Amino acid sequence: MLRHYDAIGLLTPAVVLSTGYRNYQVAQLARLNRVVALKDLGFNLEQVGAIIDDQLNPEQLRGMLRLRQAELQTQLAADTKRLANVEARL
Cα distance between residue 67 and residue 73, in whole Å: 10
* pLDDT tens sequence across 16-75: 999 989 999 999 999 999 999 999 999 999 999 989 888 888 899 899 999 999 999 999
Residues 55 and 61: their CA atoms lie apart, in Å, by: 9
Reduce the DSSP state of residue 66 to 3 states and report it.
helix
Phi-psi category of residue 20: left, alpha or beta, with phi > 0 → left and psi -120 to 50 → alpha: left
Integer Cα distance of 38 and 51 in angstroms: 9
* Cα 61 from Cα 51, distance rounded (Å): 7
For position 58, what pLDDT does the model report?
87
